Every structure is written in structure tokens, then in C-alpha cells.
Amino acid sequence: MTRNNTIPQDPVPFSGITVLIVGLGIAGLTAALECSRRGHKVIGFEKKKDTNQLGDVIGLSGNSMQILSQWDPGSLAWLLDEDIICAVEALELHDTAGTIRAAMPYHPESPAQGYLFRRTGLLKKLHQLAIRAGIDLRFGVNVMRYWEDADKAGVYIGEDTVVGDCVIAADGFYSAGRTAITRENPVHQPIGAVMYRAIFDAQEIAHVPEAEWLLKEAPTADLLPSFYGKDVMVMMGTAAKGRYVHWACTIRGEAQQASEAWMQPASVEPVLDCVRNWPAASKLNAVLSRTPPGACFNHTMLATAPLRTWVSEKGRLVVIGDAAHPFLPYAGQGANQAIEDAASVAICLERAGKGDVPLALRVFEKLRHKRVSLIQEGSAEAKDSFLQANWDSDDEADSPSAYMHQSWVYNHDCVQHVVEEFQTAADAIRHGREYIPTNVPVDGKYRQQ
């Protein structure tokens, strides 16, 4: 492989392992890159025709950014493109009157804060890296079925079979592979809230005097204020130094027009109605009401209990990312844990080798399941902190920012953890012993007491 400024690495000997990856979102593309870096042959499948994905802004904290930084040791220049990042200098949390109730400087290099990206821009970057790395990615392909035996695993595409040593299903919240792999069909429970999102060209508000406040830092920086009221949270900001406007609104309750499917076209009117009586309504409405037709999407927010297992019976099929552990957005860890999954499974395959792929996937599960399940549960637990917004309470736990900084989450080095713990977990599996995870708080709670 030729060294360049994208995924520079010295050639790695072929491990002999062929990995099939289904779903080429953040989890799948990262898994493809990480497996390729470890010497595995990768074939990726995506039912969509390209990498375009609905959504607004996504945050990557220190635990995932340190993985991406290894692709060009000592530099993140390949990723920190002005067109896809949010150059935010401060975080401000407001009440419904627009009064700042909490503020802090924003330092992307801080593990707890991390970088903010346009979701589609990030995916395109990952896709470009994978193409330059020579990875076989096949778009517009619908995987119909999965299979495994003692020695191989594969997928059916129509009547054709593609064979590998293992299959990684990274096909998201509504994973088609999850039931086939885990024999579980999880129930997605509505949490009583609906999310609305939009992202559009800033020219839509560039000549609106009442919206000038949101573009005041352009073209040198971005803004990201959040507004919290009872049962409503609105986050509004810019990206690419004022080139794009994005906003997200969570509303407690059930919306008649909200769909359980991811990101369905929606009207902005329910959001306008929710903030209409806020003292800060005029400044918010100046932006919300200029959302172009077709740019607003919503979905019912659903919680899912942790799966019992992520690995198939014969140990050659595995789920990662949202297919394994869908998150609510309040912990800010959906993409971060997907990237941790990707790096971890690639290393486990490298350590176990072609002769023991099932052991690799089972060790991966041992090292990751407890940690991710705890964060998954924490993302649901944090909901009320964000939607109650009791600014006058003496209890810090009632503040919307109370759940934002869990150091055991953001400071974790999953690569080092796998290196250190692989053999211990492997021995526990071989000898039928309990494995005690070391990457979670000793009290077993999401929030350290």
C-alpha cells in the first residue's frame, strides 16, 4: 500500500482472514479501514447507492478520535477539513429567555469534548480513505441472508454466495442481520420523545436580520448554543465556519406524524409551536422558519435493552455499532462506541489469527459488551436531565450538563485495552471461567458516584 496523507501505513502482510462487512455507515467503514490496517482482506456491502446519509452534526470524543489519529500518526490533518468540521469556540446553555445559564470554552482536543462534524462529510472522508486503501466496497447491494459453518461464513446476495472467514453486520438500528446472528429480536420502546433535525445552506438566513445572531462568527468560527425548557431542548448552530446551519429539537411526548423509521421528512411547525411562547422565540423562529422544504426530518426516539449476545452460535458472525447497541443521543456516544467496536474487532482477529476466528469474535464481545451496555443504559438514564432543565435546583444532577463528562467513557483507550486484556479474556473463554471487565466503573454504574 502506498503511503500518502490519508491512511498512511507500511504494507501489512495478509493475515489470511477475509472479513465481510454488511453496512457501510460509520461503524462499517471504520471496521473496513481497521481490518485492512491489520492485514485482513475486506469486502463491504451497502444497500444504498452512495455514502449520503441524512443527519446533521455528529461528535467524536477522545476515545474515538485517538483511533482515527493512528491512521496518520501525529496528525489529524486528513480529517480536519474546514468543510466538514464545526469550528466551535465555546458551548453555551441557555434557558427559554435566551439567558446563558452555563458556559464553557470548547477545546476539540479535550477528550471530553472532541470534534464536531457534518455527518455526511465525515462518511465521505471515511469512504475516500477506504477507496484509496484499495478496499473492495460494493454499494447498491442488498444482503439477503447470512450463513456460517465451522470453517467459513458468508452472505447471500440474490442467488449468489460470497464467502469469508467471518461476517460483521454493521447495518444500523434496524439491522437485518441482527436476528439471524443473535437469535434475538429486540423490542424498540418509545421513550416518549420525538427528535426533529435539519441542516441546510446558511444562505437561507444570510439576509434575515433576526437571524444574524447565528452567523455573527462566520466566516472565522461557528456557534453552538443550546436552549432548554420544560420538555423541550433546541440545539442550533453552524458548521464549516458559517457555511451551513443545523438545528435539532427534542420534544417530550408523541407526535402524530413522527415515524419510528430513521429520519422521515417532516414539517417544522411542531417545533415552532413548542417554542412559540418562549421569550427567546423570535431569535429561534428566525432560523427555524427558514428551514427549506424537505430539509426537516423527524423520528420517534426509541430505547433498546442491551442484547444478550452479539456473536452467532458458531462464532463467525457478529454485530457491531447500532446493530448491536443502539444509543439515545444523550450520552453522545453512538458513533464513538461504533468506532471503538471497529478497532477492537480488527485487533481481536489479528491476535487470534485465521485458525481461531470464533475465539476472536467471542473475545471481542467479552471485552466490549459490559462497557457498551452500561453506556447504552446511561444514554437512556440521561434523558430527563436534558428535558427537565431545572435550572434553579440545588442538585447539580438536575442540570442539563450533568451527564456530559464521564471520564471513564471519554478517556478510554480501547486499542491498548484489547492488547492488554485479549489473553485474559481468551483464557476465560477457553476454560469456561468468568471474565471480569476492567473498562467499566467498579460500582457498575454509568455515572461514577
Q: Report d(CA 262, CA 55) in Å as an integer.
A: 10
Report which residue type is found at 368: R
Scan for cell 485482513, then name that residue: 40
- Is the CB of residue 229 less than 8 Å from the CB of residue 389? yes
User: Comparing C-alpha atoms, which of 288, 299, 235, 232 is closest to residue 261?
Assistant: 299
Pairing of strands 100-105, 90-94: antiparallel
Residues 6+ apart with CB under 8 A from 156: 143, 144, 145, 146, 147
Given the residues 101, 118, 178, 197, the one annotated as active site: 197
**Degrees, nearest 5: CA angle 245-248-251:** 155
Cβ–Cβ under 8 Å, residues 232 and 193: no
Kindly provide the b/e burial profile for residues 81-99, where b requires at least 16 CB atoms within 10 angstroms of the residue's own CB: eeebbbbbeebbbbbbebe
Give the Å distances, CA to CA, from 208 to 97, 119, 169: 21, 26, 46
351 part of the active site? no
AA identity, residue 383: K
Catalytic residue list: 197
